Amino acid sequence: MSDYSIWVLEYAAVEKFPFSVMMYGPQHQGTRKLPYAYALIKGKGETILIDTGYDHVNFGKTLADMYGVSNYHGPREVLAECGVAPEDVTSVFVTHAHFDHMGAIEHFPNATFYIQKRELDQWVWALTLDPEYRFLTGGGDPADIVKAVKAASEGRVVLIDGDSEDILPGIDVHLAADTHTYGCMYVTIRNDGARDSADKWIFAGDLIYTYDNLTGLDPDNPQIVPIGLAVGSQHNLIFSSAEMLKSVGGEVRRVIPVHEDKLKETFPSRLTEANLQVVEIALADGETSKVS
């Protein structure tokens, strides 16, 4: 019995993304498609997002154009594929403050946003540094921090300080400090509600981009290989990945990287008229499939 239905919803993509950024080291492996996506979770009276995507206007559009993002579609159109409107969303877990994960929070007027205190604190600090340190704020839109402050003034932001269990029923968060960003977090869904869950899903944010980060490229000699973009350390990325894998008993498919194009081959999926993937991770009892 599953408590939550879970989908990964593509909303845009970089068709040719350098593999050396997805996986640290291989400088001559060419490019892969990098879907931009977020997760939708329904159950227990909640409609939940893990991350929000971005808004294709102003500096968000500037960043998207710089990174080669194409086929953008906004949350109203994307969520409608699962019968949800932005106003229905009750809770959002923000894994980190990069523009493509937290850049559309103004579209969810009824949601409470959960984010690590360290993430917001350190982004504000980094924005005060001189221009030669701007690598530390790359991928972020300062306007998103302002939007988060506005939501906080409305009583709709909860700052989390480290690991925390049962933020919502069966949903835990875990801090991965100084990894991809200052206060990245990953989200665990214990979909049977049990503390020692046999049906656990982990949403990794950008701690991993692809399953290959968890396995390496040689099936006869597996290893954890970190992503190639971090303001923290590769050491921290490797050990955070190891913690996630251990938590699901080494079952790689249960650690979900939303930027992984192979999700559509790993789980039931369909392609929308807008050429976007809807990937179905789990269905709660009584839920109708959105891919069949």
**Per-residue pLDDT tens over the stretch 237-254:** 999 999 999 999 999 999
Domain that holds residue 42: 5-171+257-282
What's this model's pTM, rounded to 2 decimal places?
0.97
Residue 152 lies in a domain: yes
Residue 54 lies in a domain: yes
Instruction: Look up tokens 């080669």; give the residue.
Output: 68
Residue 249 lies in a domain: no
Domain count, the chain: 1
Residue 226 lies in a domain: no
The CATH number for 273's domain is 3.60.15.10
At 186 the three-state DSSP class reads strand
Residue 11 lies in a domain: yes
- Could you read off the pLDDT of 139-178 as tens digits, one per residue? 999 999 999 999 999 999 999 999 999 999 999 999 999 9
Q: Which two tokens stand for residue 25?
A: 């080291």
> In 132-276, where do the E strands start and end?
157-160, 164-168, 171-177, 183-190, 200-203, 255-256, 269-271
Q: What is the pLDDT of residue 1?
A: 77
Q: What angle do CA 115, 149, 172 make, to 5 degrees?
A: 15
pLDDT along the chain (292 residues), means of 10: 96 96 84 97 98 97 97 98 98 98 98 98 97 96 97 98 98 98 98 97 98 96 96 97 98 98 98 98 96 94
